[in-house]
C-alpha cells in the first residue's frame, strides 16, 4: 500500500548549446517523484521539460495527483493511471498532464520491477539486452558543415551506426549542402537522419524531401506541425524517405491516428510526453501491429530498457540527460546502448546532486 508520494523539481543545466529550427534547449527541468509503500519499498520515477512548464507539472502533481495515490496498491498501475487521467480531465489530453502522469507511472514501474527482481527491459517484454545508438549531440542547427562532418566522423569512428542532423535553414540548398557534406564524409554505410522540428509547411517539406532523397536518409523527423496528420500523410505519400513523428504526441490515440493514416513509418514515442511506461508500451505494440519501428525521442537512460523490451525497437537517441543527477552513466559498447541489468529502472540516482539542483 502506498503511504507517501512526493515530487521535486530540479533544473539540470544543458551540457552543450542545443538548437533546432524552432527552439533552443534552455535547461532540463527534471521532475522526480518518489513513492513509498508500507513495506518500506521506494520507487522513483521522473519526467522532464526542455525549459518551460516544469513548475506547472510539479503543481499538478502536488495539488491534484499525489494525494490520490495514498492507500492505493502500487501494483495496480493501470487502475491508478486511469484514475489520475480521469481526475485531470479538465486539462487532459495535454502535455502538462502527460508529463505529470509519467513521473508517477515510471515510479510505479520502478517499484514493480524492484519487487519482481527484474530489470525493466526484461519485465516489460525482454527482447534483447542492447540496442543501436545514434547521435544527435553533434547535429544541432547552429553548427557549421565542418562541425557536422567532424561530429559524424567521430561517432562513426566510435562504431555508432548513425547520426541525426537538424534541418530547417532558410534556404533548402543550405540544408542540402550540409547533408551532402556529411554523406560524402561518412560514406554510404552510415545512417543519416534529419529533423525539422515542425518548422516547415507541407509544400515546403515535400520540396525539401525531394531534394534530400539523393542523400539517402534514414528518416525525416517532424517535418511539419505534429497535429497535422493529413500533412504528414501527404508528405509520406510523396517521398521515399521514412517519416518520423512522436515526440510531440501526448496520447495513445494520437499514435493510432498517425498509424491508421499511414502518415508515419517511424514512431518516436517519448515515455515522458505520452504519460509513462504504461501508455508507451501500448503505442509500441500498436506500431508493431502496423509493422512500424519504434525509435523513441530523448530520455536515453530510460528508453534503452524500453526499446530493448520490444521486438520492433530500432534506435535509441544519444543525448545525455541525467548525467548531472546520476552516479553511473548509461553503458555504451560497439555502437549500442546496453540495458541496465539491475532490478528496477536501472537509473543510479545521486541524491546529493538532486538536492543541489533542486529548485522546488
Ligand atoms: Mg526531434
For the chain, residues with pLDDT lower than 50 are none
Q: Which of 312, 264, 316, 307 is nearest to 136 (CA)?
A: 316
C-alpha grid cell, residue 176: 542540402
pLDDT of residue 196: 97
Q: Which of 156, 164, 166, 336 is catalytic?
A: 166
Task: Please tell me whether residue 164 adopts helix, strand or coil conformation.
Answer: strand
pLDDT of residue 26: 83
pLDDT digits (tens, 9 = 90+) for 166-208: 999 999 999 999 999 999 999 999 999 999 999 999 999 999 9
> Is residue 190 flagged as an active site residue?
no
Q: Please answer whether residues 192 and 155 qualify as being in contact, where contact means their C-beta atoms are separated by less than 8 angstroms.
A: no
The owner of cell 497535429 is: 227
| CA 87 to centroid of ligand 1, rounded, Å | 30
- Give the pLDDT of residue 27: 87
Per-residue confidence (pLDDT) for residue 360, from 0 to 100: 86
The answer to whether residues 133 and 73 touch, using CB atoms and an 8 Å cutoff, is no
E strands of the chain, at which residues?
A: 2-12, 28-37, 42-49, 130-135, 162-166, 191-195, 220-221, 243-245, 266-267, 293-294, 316-318, 331-333, 336-338
d(CA 134, ligand 1 centre) in Å: 13
Strand partners, 4: 36
Report the CATH architecture of 2-117+350-357. Answer: 2-Layer Sandwich (3.30)
Using alpha carbons only, give the angle 25, 31, 35 rounded to the nearest 5 degrees.
160
- Burial group, residue 10, by CB count within 10 angstroms (0-12, 13-18, 19+): buried
142 is catalytic: no
Cα-to-centroid distance, 247 and ligand 1 (Å): 6
Which residue in 297, 303, 318, 336 is the catalytic one?
297
- Please name the residue that has the C-alpha cell 498517425: 258
C-alpha of residue 81 to centroid of ligand 1, in Å? 27
122-338: in CATH 3.20.20.120: yes
**pLDDT attached to residue 251:** 95
Residue appearing with cell numbers 511506461: 277
- Determine the distance separating the centroid of ligand 1 and the alpha carbon of 195, expressed in angstroms: 6
| 126 Ramachandran zone, left/alpha/beta (phi>0; psi -120 to 50) | left
Distance in Å, CA 47 to ligand 1 centroid? 17
Report CA(117)–ligand 1 centroid distance (Å). Answer: 34
Q: What angle do CA 256, 257, 260 make, to 5 degrees?
A: 80
What residues does the ion ligand 1 have nearby, CB within 5 Å? 195, 221
Å from CA of 222 to ligand 1 middle: 6
Residue 14 CB partners (closer than 8 Å, separation 6+):
25, 26, 27, 28
Could you tell me the distance, in angstroms and rounded to a whole number, from the CA of residue 188 to the centre of ligand 1?
23
pLDDT given for residue 16 in this prediction: 85
- How many DSSP H helices and E strands does the chain contain? 12, 13
In the reported structure, the alpha carbon of residue 32 is separated from the centroid of ligand 1 by a whole-number distance in angstroms of 23
CA 80 / ligand 1 centre spacing (Å): 30
Contact 9, 30 (CB under 8 A): yes
Residue ranges covered by each domain of the chain: 2-117+350-357, 122-338
66 within 8 A of 35, measured Cβ to Cβ: no
| Dist. CA 256 → ligand 1 center (Å) | 19
Q: pTM (2 decimals)?
A: 0.97
Closest CA to 276 of 5, 137, 82: 82
Amino acid at each position: 500500500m502506498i503511504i507517501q508520494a512526493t515530487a521535486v523539481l530540479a533544473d539540470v543545466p544543458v551540457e552543450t548549446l542545443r538548437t533546432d529550427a524552432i527552439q533552443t534547449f534552455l535547461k532540463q527541468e527534471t521532475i522526480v517523484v518518489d513513492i513509498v509503500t508500507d513495506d518500506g519499498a521506494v520507487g522513483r520515477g521522473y519526467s522532464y521539460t526542455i525549459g518551460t512548464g516544469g513548475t506547472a507539472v510539479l503543481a499538478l502533481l502536488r495539488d491534484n495527483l499525489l494525494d490520490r495515490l495514498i492507500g492505493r496498491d502500487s501494483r495496480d498501475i493501470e487502475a491508478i493511471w486511469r484514475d489520475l487521467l480521469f481526475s485531470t480531465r479538465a486539462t487532459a489530453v495535454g502535455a502538462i498532464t502527460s508529463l505529470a502522469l509519467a513521473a508517477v507511472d515510471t515510479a510505479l514501474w520502478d517499484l514493480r520491477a524492484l519487487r519482481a527482481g527484474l530489470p525493466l527491459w526484461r519485465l516489460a517484454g525482454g527482447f534483447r539486452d542492447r540496442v543501436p545508438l545514434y547521435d544527435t549531440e553533434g547535429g544541432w542547427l547552429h553548427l557549421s558543415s565542418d562541425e557536422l562532418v567532424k561530429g559524424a566522423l567521430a561517432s562513426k569512428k566510435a562504431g555508432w551506426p548513425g547520426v541525426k542532423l537538424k534541418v530547417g535553414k532558410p534556404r533548402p540548398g543550405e540544408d542540402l549542402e550540409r547533408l551532402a557534406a556529411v554523406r560524402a564524409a561518412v560514406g554510404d554505410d552510415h545512417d543519416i537522419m534529419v529533423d525539422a522540428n515542425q518548422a516547415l509547411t507541407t509544400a515546403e517539406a515535400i520540396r525539401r524531401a525531394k531534394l534530400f532523397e539523393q542523400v539517402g536518409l534514414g528518416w525525416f523527423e517532424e517535418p511539419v506541425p505534429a497535429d497535422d496528420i493529413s500533412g504528414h500523410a501527404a508528405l509520406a505519400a510523396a517521398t521515399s524517405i521514412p517519416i518520423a513523428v512522436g515526440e510531440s504526441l501526448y496520447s495513445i490515440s494520437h499514435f493510432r491516428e498517425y498509424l491508421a493514416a499511414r502518415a508515419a513509418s517511424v514512431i518516436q514515442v517519448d515515455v515522458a510526453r505520452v504519460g509513462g511506461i504504461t501508455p508507451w508500451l501500448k503505442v509500441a505494440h500498436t506500431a508493431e501491429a502496423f509493422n512500424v519501428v519504434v525509435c523513441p525521442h530523448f530520455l536515453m537512460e530510460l528508453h534503452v530498457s524500453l526499446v530493448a523490451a520490444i521486438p520492433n525497437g530500432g534506435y535509441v537517441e544519444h543525448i545525455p540527460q541525467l548525467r548531472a543527477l546520476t552516479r553511473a552513466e548509461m553503458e555504451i559498447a560497439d555502437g549500442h546502448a546496453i540495458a541496465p541489468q539491475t532490478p528496477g529502472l536501472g537509473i543510479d540516482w545521486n541524491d546529493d546532486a538532486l538536492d543541489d539542483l533542486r529548485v522546488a
